[in-house]
Amino acid sequence: MYLDELSEDDLFGLFFLKVPGATGLDGYYRALFAAEPLLRSPAWLEVVTGYYLSRKDDSLRISYFADTCHSPAQVLDDFLSQNALEHTQVPKPPTNESVSAAYGGDELRFRGFLSTYTPIGVDIMVADLLHARCLFATFRFQVMLPGKPYRPHLENTFLRQSPFY
């Protein structure tokens, strides 16, 4: 994944994964940590132009962008065959779809934002999940709500804990 290859014309696809038997927020985090080797693998990074993560119920939702020449589904299936994760929904073929419509409509910029914050977030969660959760709870309530600058609150952690940053 090279963000300079990201295009607003890339296809958009989704995977929903979970660790069998894991539920709630713990299930989401367990799925995220189980999927982390996939997200860092050269095979995955070669077939996506960007990706981002979110939670849906007990599942990890992997949203990805890819050009028409590559198949992230095959890379994911190879990974799942060797790891304790499963699909919670049948994957649909990727489509030409806008993800920015409800967020201002600057498609390429928004895709770039999503594909940048996710690897940073994964890095800091893997480094120290409790610290990451506290960092973003205080960010939301003590920085965002009062309108303070973001960088002073986040950058030290990003520099220390995120090779991607």
Sole residue written with tokens 């986040």: 154
Cα distance between residue 85 and residue 16, in whole Å: 10
User: 1 pLDDT band (50/70/90 cuts)?
Assistant: low
pLDDT over 80 at 69, yes or no: no
Mean pLDDT over residues 136-144, rounded?
Answer: 96
Cα distance between residue 158 and residue 163, in whole Å: 8
Give the pLDDT score at 79: 95
Give the pLDDT score at 80: 93
The total domain count for the chain is: 1
Cα distance between residue 69 and residue 73, in whole Å: 12
Q: In one letter, which amino acid is 7?
A: S
Give the pLDDT score at 92: 82
Range of the domain at 27: 3-161
Give the pLDDT score at 33: 94
Q: Which among 114, 85, 117 is positioned nearest to 16, based on CA atoms?
A: 85
List, for residues 15-68, the tens digit of each pLDDT value.
Answer: 999 999 999 989 999 999 999 999 999 999 999 999 999 999 889 999 999 987
Two tokens, residue 157: 């952690």
3-state secondary structure of 11: strand
Cα distance between residue 37 and residue 26, in whole Å: 18
Say what the pTM is. 0.89
3-state secondary structure of 82: coil
User: 121 pLDDT band (50/70/90 cuts)?
Assistant: very high
Mean pLDDT over residues 72-95, rounded?
Answer: 91
User: 103 pLDDT band (50/70/90 cuts)?
Assistant: confident
